[in-house]
Amino acid sequence: MTDHAQFAELLALYAVGALEANEASDLEAHLRTCVECRDELTALRGDAALLALSAVGPAPPQRVRQRLMAAIENEPRKQPISPRFVLGTFRPRWLSFAPIAAALLLAIFSLLLWRVDARLQRRLDQTQAELEKTQSQLHSAEELVALLHSPDSMHLTLVSTRERPVPQAHAVYSPKMGRLFLMASHLEPLPKDKAYELWLLPMNGGAPMPCGTFWPNEKGDAMMYHPLSEAGVEAKGFAITVEPEGGSSAPTSVIQMISSG
Amino acid sequence: MRLSGTQAPNNETDPALIERIRAGDETAMADLYDRYAGIVYGVALRVLGDAGAAEDVLQEVFLQLWRNPQAFDANRGKLPAWLAVIARNRAIDHLRKRPMENDIEEAPVASAVDLENEAAQRLAIEKIRGALGHLPQEQRKCLEMAFFQGMTHTEIAAKTGEPLGTIKTRIRAGLLALRKAVL
């Protein structure tokens, strides 16, 4: 019997997943070069699918659908304009206020447009809950613009305490509004169970206040807009540590980045 | 027997839904879930015998599809059949405490039966159950052990005391008989 004929005999076993691992890889090597076997396998997998269908019974609980859609919400967006592009627009030195404000406004508008574009792609018959969610996100964006323009807003740059590479972050904080906006780049990637956490260092020398957790994307960039639990806290500066992914109420590790001046 | 969610049925074809998913349309994902969650869950539950574990596999399969919709080639096979096989493989990985593969396998799966709506699925399932009932018991047992219990042909031969060649023949004959019964 030819090799081909021998492999052809194994296709049904492969289709139901009954081959040993080494037999499967030998067959896979053959499949790469044999169209006839690939076609037969496609058909046999169809038969295996029929077998699978015989198992269908009670419907799954609704909670799985909800969990799935929530997980999808949290996935990185599939969008042409990415936040990384936005950050790339204004990476240069933070020397004076005006170019920073202009660059940040560009980031804000890009963000708004990106969000608006995503909305337009959805189906027109959105539910009221989705509409309300959109309105609250736009409200947050409006607050963000107000934060940038607020006369008492501090604009700080945080730099890495290490030599190289150079993680960098820019924080905008308004004590009056109790709102904080952070943009970071060149962050080191983190293991799955950890997150970066931002801390406000109070002027009065009190304990560092938690200011939100964030994760870098695959480019090492991150953005965060965080409402603080109380307004009116004067800040001496800000710092970033690595914490467990749910965040901590007090820093549990060394400072990775800290504001200067 | 309720097969899918309580959402209103969507009349778009599977390839159209997959296109929208590729464009990042989450509502298309919800529609696809409503259409085929019953199949994925049913297979996973049969393999695992545990509702919680089956729910995990269900979520994982659809999340992987969201992340990697290009893994399914609409020109070369049918989505529900493909999902059914993926569901079985993920469930077996779970059963054997193997790490679930992150890449959905790309090999296509043909399907002679229409499965794109609840009524068609019900009809197909009845036909298939009838066909299985008519299979010789040894063929049915071999298919069951291989497909739902994840046993290799070597393991089945050891368990039943039958030669390897016999197992191979029974599985092949069983699959072809199923194919014929639903035509």
Question: Residue A246 is encoded by which pair of tokens?
Answer: 């749910």
- Looking at this protein, which amino acid is placed at residue B170? R
Q: Tokens representing A10?
A: 């194994």
Residue to test with chain A: of B75, B172, B180, B183, most A Cβ within 10 A: B172
| Beta bridge partner(s), residue A184 | A169, A222
* Amino acid in position A83: P
| A62: pLDDT strictly greater than 80 | yes
Which secondary-structure segment (H or E) carries A86? helix A83-88
pLDDT at A2: 74
Q: For residue A133, which residues of chain B lie inside 8 Å, CB to CB? A: none
Three-state DSSP class for residue A97: helix
Considering only CB atoms, A54 lies closest to which of B30, B129, B153, namely B129
Chain B contact set for A52 (CB, 8 A)? 39, 42-43, 84-85, 87-88, 147
Q: What is the pLDDT tens value at each position of chain B, 183 positions in all?
A: 434 444 445 678 888 899 899 888 999 999 999 999 999 999 999 999 999 999 999 999 999 999 988 888 877 678 888 899 899 999 999 988 766 554 456 567 777 677 777 788 888 888 889 999 999 999 999 999 999 999 999 999 999 999 999 999 999 999 999 988 877
The pLDDT score that the predictor gives to residue B101 is 55
Instruction: Return the DSSP state at A195.
Output: E
* CA–centroid distance for A32 within its chain: 37
Say which of A48, A64, A77 has its CB closest to residue B24. Answer: A77
Question: Touching check for B183 and chain A: CB below 8 Å?
Answer: no
* CA–CA dist B138, B145 (Å, integer): 11
pLDDT at B171: 96
How far from chain centre, in Å, is Cα B177?
18
For the residues A37-64, what does the mean pLDDT come to?
A: 89
Closest chain A CA to residue B56: A64
* Least Cα separation, residue B100 to chain A (angstroms): 15
How far apart are alpha carbons A21 and A13 in whole angstroms? 12
Give the pLDDT confidence of A214-253 residue by residue, as tens digits: 999 888 889 998 988 888 899 999 999 999 988 899 999 9
pLDDT at A170 over 80: yes
Sole residue written with tokens 């295996």: A48
Closest chain A residue to the Cα of B128, Cα to Cα:
A54
Strand extents, DSSP E, chain A? 154-160, 168-174, 179-185, 194-202, 209-214, 222-227, 235-244, 255-259
Instruction: List strand residue ranges (DSSP E) for A49-176, in order.
Output: 154-160, 168-174
- Higher local confidence (pLDDT), A164 or A53: A53
> Which DSSP string do the residues of chain B spell out, in sequence order?
---S-SSPP----HHHHHHHHHTT-HHHHHHHHHHHHHHHHHHHHHHH--HHHHHHHHHHHHHHHHH-GGGS-TTSS-HHHHHHHHHHHHHHHHHTTPPPPSSPP------SS--SSHHHHHHHHHHHHHHHHHS-HHHHHHHIIIIIT---HHHHHHHH---HHHHHHHHHHHHHHHHHHH-
| pLDDT given for residue A163 in this prediction | 62
What residue type is assigned to position B39 of the chain? I
Question: Chain B partners of A114 at a C-beta cutoff of 8 Å?
Answer: none
- Contact of B143 with chain A, judged by CB distance below 8 Å, is answered with yes
In the sheet that A168-174 helps form, which strands lie side by side, from edge to edge?
Answer: A209-214, A194-202, A235-244, A255-259, A154-160, A168-174, A179-185, A222-227
A86 has a pLDDT exceeding 90 = no
Output A117 or B147, whichever has higher pLDDT: B147
Q: A229: which DSSP letter?
A: S
ipTM of the complex: 0.84
Cα separation, A64 vs A68, whole angstroms: 6
Longest dimension (CA), chain B: 52
**Model pLDDT for residues A121-158, shown as the tens digit of each residue:** 666 656 676 777 878 888 877 888 788 777 788 877 68
pLDDT of A104 higher than 80: no
Query: CB-based burial of residue A27 (10 Å sphere; 0-12 exposed, 13-18 middle, 19+ buried)?
Result: buried
Does the beta-carbon distance from B153 to A13 stay under 8 Å? Answer: yes
**A195-212: average pLDDT:** 92
Name the residue among B45, B77, B150 with its Cβ closest to that of A42: B77
Q: Report the pLDDT value the prediction gives residue A87, as an integer from 0 to 100.
A: 39
Taking CB atoms and an 8 Å cutoff, what residues of chain A touch B66?
Answer: 72, 75
- Whose tokens are 């002679």? That residue is B112
Residue B3 Cα distances to A55, A93, A111, B68, angstroms: 12, 59, 40, 25
